[in-house]
Amino acid sequence: MTQEKICIDARLYGVSHTGIGRYLENLLENLPQEAQKDIVLLVSPDQFNQSKLSGFQKIRVYSHPYSFFSQIEIPYWLFRIRPRLLHVPHFTIPLLWPGKIIVTIHDLIKNISTGKETTTRSPFLYKLKYYSYLFIVQAAVRRAVRIIVPTRYWLEKLGEIYPQSKGKTLVTYEGVNSDVFTNDSVVQPEKPLYIIYTGNLYPHKNFPLLLSVLKLIPDLRLKVVCSRSVFLNRAKALVDSHKLGDRVDFMGFVSDSRLKILYQKSLAFVTPALIEGFGLPGLEAMSSGTPVIAARASCLPEVYADAALYFDPHSAPDLSKQINDLSSSSELRQKLITSGLKRVSQFSWSKMGQETWKIYQSVLH
């Protein structure tokens, strides 16, 4: 096989892999087109014939990035390809590969959100996975020649937890698929009013707070868009225990075009997360012309700036007040829509792709 300059581990490509999958989709789409000849992708069998990847040379890889077999299969291919640079879009680096590695660390949530509530595994398996995670993240930080993070919040947090990351960590803000999430018409909130939550249901997402707010605002509904989550059954059981089953709609996976309509017909997109990697759903909502109400926590104020209403993520009354203020003021709603559209225009997948390519080139040359 001919030697290539750059190898990208694209096994988590596609929206089925949520945030990392969307990151990979947009990274590969926004790299310079002429760069495709210098890139070889490691892809899973189900994405091997993906039309959007047709311009790249691809290697079919069968192991999942989190599996032990991955630590054997990936070095095997790398020693055959012998790239000058490997980009791993997660912390799951191949430990046996001695070459230059760039790693994207989207967050350190698993370092911060820990304990039996954060897993569906047995205590033994949880500890085994947790310490394996700590080991490989430490290795990734130590081995990487450059580390990419999505916000300054995570740059600083990475430096606090792993001081050896300082001096080699760079921020590339992510973007929004503005061709899909568009504010193409004026849409009034649906009656009865509903708020929308998009994302997984891990404990750090703070989903129970939304149920507490529903009990404070009797005529409010909640729509939950969650493509996959091991905690979905727990969330449904919690809804039933609060006797809110008739006011909470679990939508499952929905297409981006359908999601845009759900955003636009809602009173607001609400995220109560205690920790967040980037907060992309809030930007998608803003791009759709939807007000955003966000927890005053982690990177969310950095990303949303003055284009959102904020609340204490530990206070249901505080969130309730923001929802009531928004529902009673059309002026406030329009102000948030306008500021949201302005804010989201500052984020671009194209810019992210260009900045990432420059990082590749700085390492290679």
Q: Are 291 and 146 within one domain?
A: no
| Structural domain containing residue 239 | 194-344
Phi and psi, residue 53, nearest 5°: -105, 10
Q: Are 162 and 233 within one domain?
A: no
Q: Are 134 and 202 within one domain?
A: no
Q: Are 207 and 272 in contact (CB under 8 A)?
A: yes
Q: Count Cα neighbours of 184 within 13 Å in the Cβ-side half-sphere.
A: 8
Query: Per the structure block, which two tokens stand in for 251?
Result: 């939508």
Q: Are 10 and 157 within one domain?
A: yes
Q: Is residue 185 domain-resident?
A: no
Along the 365 residues of the chain, how does pLDDT read in single tens digits? 445 589 999 999 987 777 899 999 999 999 998 888 899 999 999 999 999 999 999 999 999 999 999 999 999 999 999 999 999 999 999 999 999 999 999 999 999 999 989 988 899 999 999 999 999 999 999 999 999 999 999 999 999 999 999 999 999 999 998 888 998 877 889 999 999 999 999 999 999 999 999 999 999 999 999 977 789 999 999 999 999 999 999 999 899 999 999 999 999 999 999 999 999 999 999 999 999 999 999 999 999 999 999 999 999 999 999 999 999 999 999 999 999 999 999 999 999 999 999 999 999 98
Q: Are 97 and 82 in contact (CB under 8 A)?
A: no
CATH of the domain at 230: 3.40.50.2000
Q: Are 107 and 213 within one domain?
A: no
DSSP string, 202-250: -GGG-THHHHHHHHHSTT-EEEEE-S--TTHHHHHHHHHHTT-TTTEEE
Domain count, the chain: 2
Distance CA 298, CA 278 (A): 9
Q: Nearest Cα to 90, choosing from 132, 134, 43, 149?
A: 149
Which residue has 């990487």 as its token pair? 144
Q: Are 204 and 117 in contact (CB under 8 A)?
A: no
Q: Are 75 and 215 within one domain?
A: no
